[in-house]
Amino acid sequence: MTEDFRIEHDSMGEMRVPATALWGAQTQRSYENFRIGTETQPEGIIRAFALLKKAAAQANAELGSLDAATAALIADACDEVYAGAWDAEFPLKVWQTGSGTQSNMNVNEVVATRANQLAAERGVTLPKPIHPNDSVNCSQSSNDTFPTAMHVAAVVAVHDQLLPAARQLVATLQRLERENEGVVKSGRTHLQDAVPISFSQEISGWRGLVETGIEMVEASLPPLCRLALGGTAVGTGLNAPEGFDTLVASKLADLTGLPFVTDPNKFHALTSKDALVFGHGAVKALAANMMKIANDVRWLASGPRLGLGEIRIPENEPGSSIMPGKVNPTQCEAVTMVAVQVMGNDAAIGFAASQGNFELNVFMPVIAYNYLQSVRLLADAIRSFDEHCACGIVADRDRMRHNLHDSLMLVTCLNPYIGYENAAKVAHKAYEEGTSLREACVGLGFLTPERFDEVFKPEEMV
């Protein structure tokens, strides 16, 4: 009978590893020792590792630390990992060593094994077999590769996922502004009637919430573009050739098209996670703004008969298993739940980042997991909200007009003519007696009917 495992070894001895697995002994040890939860290292981290291992191999070849053939094979294996060809080979949990050492070694082992396979397939003769530590991890340490992978993954996720989704929503809101020019409705403050506002002005507020969020997220990227790679174990750069840090950062910039540079202070880069705290704070700010937009939309769409009902939103699915015909603002609810998750993640990231001891922070996997989850969820939620809700918002102009003219706060336009206190008397009289502002004002003798009609123009109050 064919054995379903093979024997691999590391510095601690031998391990049984699944026969077809590309990983080695160190990955297997972690797989067996950390059976905690179901959360595995995020795809973004694995992709970022593939990029940095490729860049490191190329830099090592240029600096004379690796032979060209070995570096080329490592780069090709990294390309396969980056393309997702070997996703099943990265089974390790988030809840492992806080430095991410086992995940760094998981990548090293998979890339080394695959690179050796490529060498055999191509008939390439190497000076010696490609080794996970000596070759793939050459000039590196888990302590500088994992924080580098975190930064690369964070910047790529924001650039490729979050910002495009947010900009798409901005474009939708700009269209809605144009379509609703001149539509005047009642404003609201403290959930109470307020003076008029145009619907396009209200939408412009939503647009500003998204645009400001974009600005904040963009402002958080430069610190995240500074990389720890080259600091090795404690920031001194031990066992890395001179110039490795700047060269590998330059290569990562070329591979991604993003402005990565080496962090000038590796001691800070290894122990501090402030760039991720700052970056996630901007993500949280956008999430908070999306919470506000989603709440506004579902309030304005409430009803259909007993709520505000000033806008109609797309009806996407039945809203109740017992009440026929009920439709709910489900996209808004999804956005608000994602916003809550992002806020919770922000607390976890802040606590984890505060726990750096001496030369290293050992809460990195949980920081990476939460940051990337927030970016992915928020990007998905914004895109879904845009495509299934915002793009189909339609103003109920008749309802807006009715609510506008029924608002007691229109009395504010009388302040210049009868004064604040008299205007307040008019509002109270109209409310208590269930009459119009016109009847109350004329009844109190503050203005004649003709003068009231001359100065009372709600549509001009915006």
Contact 316, 261 (CB under 8 A): no
CA distance 181 to 397: 12
Please, which residues bridge with residue 93 across strands? 40
Residues contacting 363, CB < 8 A, separation 6+? 98, 273, 352, 353, 355
Cα separation values, 235 from 55, 103, 230, Å? 19, 20, 8
Q: Examine the residue annotation and report whether 320 is marked as an active-site residue of this protein.
A: yes
CA distance 284 to 373: 12
Cα separation values, 301 from 91, 332, 360, 399, 400, Å? 45, 11, 50, 11, 12
Given 99, 159, 190, 428, the catalytic residue: 190
3-state helix, strand, coil in the chain (%, to 5): 60, 10, 30
Cα separation values, 30 from 85, 107, 131, Å? 22, 13, 19
Residues contacting 141, CB < 8 A, separation 6+? 231, 232, 233
Query: Strands 226-227 and 261-262: what pairing?
Result: parallel
Contact 285, 213 (CB under 8 A): yes
Q: Which position has the token pair 């080695």? A: 24
Please, which residues bridge with residue 311 across strands? 395
| Long-range CB pairs of 120-125, under 8 A, 24+ apart, other chains included | 124/69, 124/73
- 3-class SS of residue 185: strand
Given 99, 103, 220, 320, the catalytic residue: 320
- 3-class SS of residue 153: helix
For the record, the structure tokens of 376 come out as 């992915």
Give the chain's count of helices (H) and strands (E): 18, 8
Catalytic residues: 190, 320
